Amino acid sequence: FPMGRTVVVLGGGISGLAASYHLSRASRPPKVVLVEGSERLGGWIRSVRGPDGAIFELGPRGIRPAGALGARTLLLVGRCGTPRAG
C-alpha cells in the first residue's frame, strides 16, 4: 500500500475483523479504520461462558473448530489476541 493510505473496513463481524488483521500485517500496512454499527464486535458470533467455564457460541453462525480450516481459524483468533468470553 502507498504511504499515507487509509483503508476503511465496514463491519466488525468475523470477516471484517479478519480483513483488518490481515491488512495490518501487510509489509507496508495502511492505516486501518474498522467501522461497526453495534456496541460490540463479532457480528453473528456471540460467545458466552457456561457455569462450568465452557465457552458456547450462540447465534445462527459460529466458529466451528473442526478440520484444517477450523484449526487455521482458531490460530487467527489466537494471533489477534481476541478476548475470551467473560
Q: What is the pTM of this model?
A: 0.62
Residue 7 phi, psi dihedral angles, 5° rounding: -115, 130
User: For each of the chain's 86 residues, which pLDDT tens digit applies?
Assistant: 666 799 999 999 888 999 999 999 999 999 999 999 999 888 887 888 899 998 887 776 666 777 888 888 778 777 876 655 54
Q: 35 forms bridges with which residues in the sheet? A: 10
Q: What is the 3-state secondary structure (H, E, C) of 31-56?
A: EEEEECCCCCCECCCEEEECCCCCEE
Cell 447465534 locates to 59
Name the residue ranges covered by the structural domains of the chain.
Answer: 6-80
Write the CA distances from 62 to 31, 32, 47, 81, 82, integer angstroms: 28, 25, 9, 18, 15
